[in-house]
Amino acid sequence: MKNVTVTMEDAVADWARMEAARRNTSVSRLVGELLAEKMRHDDAYERAMREALEFKSWGTSSGPYLRRDEIYTRGKQ
């Protein structure tokens, strides 16, 4: 583990102290946990974005795309 110095506004420091007390932990541990959660969230988002961008298709197309009017009249025939 690394020790770091963090500079924050007084109101943020007050909130962090109250939140840490509410969770029965230290401000240092609270900040570490919040940053770890942010890191996991960002990693999951990046992974999902990469998978979505690599997604090719739900199936294969056998011809050109239908026009809007063809989609709605197709089942009425």
Query: What separation in angstroms does the CA of 76 have from each of 19, 62, 69, 72?
Result: 61, 22, 11, 8
Whether the Cβ atoms of residue 8 and residue 16 lie closer than 8 Å to each other: yes
Residue 4 within a domain: yes
Token digits of residue 21: 């007390």
Give residue-wise pLDDT tens across range 19-67.
999 999 999 999 999 999 999 999 998 988 888 888 777 666 677 887 8
Residue 68 within a domain: no
Number of domains making up the chain:
1
Residue 72 within a domain: no
Residue 63 within a domain: no
**What are the E-state strand segments in 1-77?**
none
| Rounded CA separation 34/30 (Å) | 6
Q: Is the pLDDT of residue 74 over 70?
A: no
Residue 6 within a domain: yes
Token digits of residue 13: 């420091």
Domain range for 1 is: 1-54
Residue 76 within a domain: no
Predicted confidence at residue 67, as pLDDT, reads 83
The domain that contains 23 carries what CATH number? 1.10.1220
